[in-house]
Amino acid sequence: MNCPSGYIQAVEGLAKICIPDPNLYRREDGLYEPSWAPVFYNPRMIENRDICVALLREELSRGGSTAIVDPLAATGVRGIRIALEAGVPRGTGIYMGDLSLDAVRIMELNVKLNNLGEDVVVVHADANELMYRLARREGVALGYIDVDPFGSPTPFINAAVDSVKRYGVVALTATDLAVLEGRYRSKLLRRYGVVGSKVLQSKDVAVRALLSFVARTAAVYDRYIEPLLSYVTSHYVRIYSRVSRGGTMASEILGKCLGALWCCINCSYHQMRPTEDSWSGSTHCPVCGERLKPVYPVWVCPISNRDYLGGVLKASSEMHWLRESSRVLLEGIYRASNSNTLTTRLTFVARAVKVNPPPVWRVVECLLQKGFAAARSFTYSDGVVTDAPVEDVVECVRSETPSCRTSGVE
Ligand SMILES: C[S@@+](CC[C@H](N)C(=O)[O-])C[C@H]1O[C@@H](n2cnc3c(N)ncnc32)[C@H](O)[C@@H]1O
């Protein structure tokens, strides 16, 4: 079967996919611009989809998931890979939808190209309409919903958390990372209801701001979330949450898991506090004396479930066709999931205490020897993720500093 004119055949995971010919949509600097093509396909999201199929394998092995919905499916590559790679039992409906007719036509072709039967259903519909129609009108139990839009997922979160079945999983991608990071203060408040500005660990904050929004939205429907896997990489945030029902639990989770981050934009010192503290004046950094900046309300409970994540990692190791970089990313997320905290950036700590920045691994070793959890950050090359008090981090930075000057960020 040939792809239509303007499309070429690509292989991703175990799927064969007709995708727009990237040579037709290159910018002046030669880079492919997926949003210019009639149907969206971004090769930079292969790791995102690799992790998605590994996670679904783990979810299915735990007895989870019934019907699967990919309501913003574009070429259908995600839903098709799920059908081919995640070990989905026969009879599990996989619904792929898109508002664009071009996308629907390519999706239908791609479903045929991969010899997928009637379990994979292609629908021309608005994403919210599709989720509600399946859950409410057709009574389909939706075990997994994957919201992967261009930009912010906020317009689809109500329908996703309201339509997913009890204990189902909602996955979200947010590519408006600059907003979630706090670069545009008013947009962060408008879009996500979070007050704050950019700090030195803004990528970590982005994940917690999105989780906060999802938890608050779920609570509107008397539902609560448990994050299974959350991370930020490249240009996006990705979160997978289990959604359960119960108004009382939803209130409890909001009380326990929403709080404020207070961050030093000089040395990267940070702390988590209850949200109410955000209203009660300022505080100063115990390391350098700078005034701390608050960001609230954000998710302050763990952002991933370590046991579940271990299962996803194991599943990924059994899927030889996944990219090595996807496994490396998962391993990094797993290592850092030992502590529920933000990254401490050694370049800035070292500058504040007036020593040369030590190699990250030496500080990690030093903290481990002191008996704390500590790992290299997979988000910041000069970052350590640790549950150690700041005094111990500073002590390790001082003791591990090289005697001669080094270049700063590794
Ligand atoms: C970023 S692409 C999806 C990429 C795809 N999930 C993947 O993994 O390759 C976003 C898609 O959402 C579609 N879209 C935008 N708004 C929509 C809406 N309200 N309902 C359904 N589809 C929509 C666009 O046509 C586009 O194909």
Q: Quick check: CB of 43 below 6 Å from ligand 1? A: no
Question: For a substitution probing ligand 1, which of 53, 68, 72 has the most ligand atoms within 8 Å of its CB?
Answer: 72
Please determine, for residue 64, whether its predicted confidence score (pLDDT) is greater than 80: no
Residues of the chain by 3-state class (helix, strand, coil), percent to 5: 40, 25, 35
Q: Summarize the confidence of residues 127-147 as an average pLDDT.
A: 97
The crossing angle, in degrees rounded to 10, of helices 202-220 and 154-163 is 50
CA distance 208 to 75: 30
pLDDT single digits (tens) 220-231: 999 999 999 999
Pocket test for ligand 1, best of 17, 18, 40 (most atoms within 8 A of CB): 40
Cβ distance 32 to 26 under 8 Å? Answer: yes
H or E, element range at 210: helix 202-220
Question: Which atom of ligand 1 is found nearest the CA of 78?
Answer: 8
Task: Give the mean model confidence (pLDDT) for residues 178-196.
Answer: 97
Ligand 1 mean position, distance from CA 220 (Å): 25
Mutation test of ligand 1: which of 99, 108, 154, 176 has the most ligand atoms closer than 8 Å to its C-beta? 99
Q: Which two tokens stand for residue 213?
A: 């929004």
CB 103 within 8 A of CB 97: no
Cα(405)–Cα(53) distance, rounded to whole angstroms? 45
Burial label for 320, CB within 10 Å (0-12, 13-18, 19+), is exposed
Q: Is 78 in the pocket of ligand 1 (CB under 6 A)?
A: yes
CA 197 to chain centre: 20
pTM score: 0.96
Contact 278, 196 (CB under 8 A): no
pLDDT tens column, 13-48: 999 999 999 999 999 898 999 989 999 999 999 999
CA–CA separation, 376 and 171 (whole Å): 26
- Convert the pLDDT of each residue in 141-181 to its tens digit: 999 999 999 999 999 999 999 999 999 999 999 999 999 99
The domains found in the chain, sorted by start residue, are: 39-299 (3.40.50.150), 343-410 (3.30.56.70)
Report how far residue 403's alpha carbon sits from residue 401's, in angstroms, rounded to the nearest whole number.
6
Residue 294 has pLDDT above 50, yes or no: yes
* Atom 9 of ligand 1, nearest CA residue: 41
Per residue in 347-381, pLDDT tens?
Answer: 999 999 999 999 999 999 999 999 999 999 999 99
For residue 150 and ligand 1, the question of a CB distance below 6 A is answered with yes
Closest CA to 48 of 285, 229, 184: 229
Residue 280 pLDDT greater than 70, yes or no: no
Does 387 have pLDDT greater than 70?
Answer: yes
Burial category of 343 from C-beta neighbours within 10 Å (exposed 0-12, middle 13-18, buried 19 and up): buried
Does residue 405 have a pLDDT over 60? Answer: no
Nearest atom of ligand 1 to the alpha carbon of 75:
9
Using one digit for the tens of pLDDT, what is the confidence trace for 204-250?
999 999 999 999 999 999 999 999 999 999 999 999 999 999 999 99
3-state DSSP call for residue 56? helix
CB-ligand 1 contact for 126 (6 Å cutoff): yes
> Rounded to whole angstroms, how far apart are CA atoms 18 and 342?
41
The dihedral through the CA atoms of 338, 343, 348, 352 has a sign that is negative
DSSP designation for 209: H
The letter for the amino acid at 313 is L
Residue 46 near ligand 1, beta carbon < 6 Å = no
List the one residue out of 169, 159, 106, 164 whose CA is nearest residue 129. Answer: 159
Measured from the CB, is residue 98 less than 6 Å from ligand 1?
yes
DSSP code of 137? I
- pLDDT band per the 50, 70, 90 thresholds, residue 278: low
Q: Is 15 in the pocket of ligand 1 (CB under 6 A)?
A: no
Q: Which of 279, 267, 225 is nearest to 354 (CA)?
A: 267
Nearest to 89 by CA among 111, 68, 114, 112: 68
The residue contributing the CA closest to ligand 1 atom 12 is 72
Compute the distance between CA of residue 10 and CA of residue 106 in angstroms, rounded to an integer. 13
Ligand 1 geometric centre to CA of 71 (Å):
7
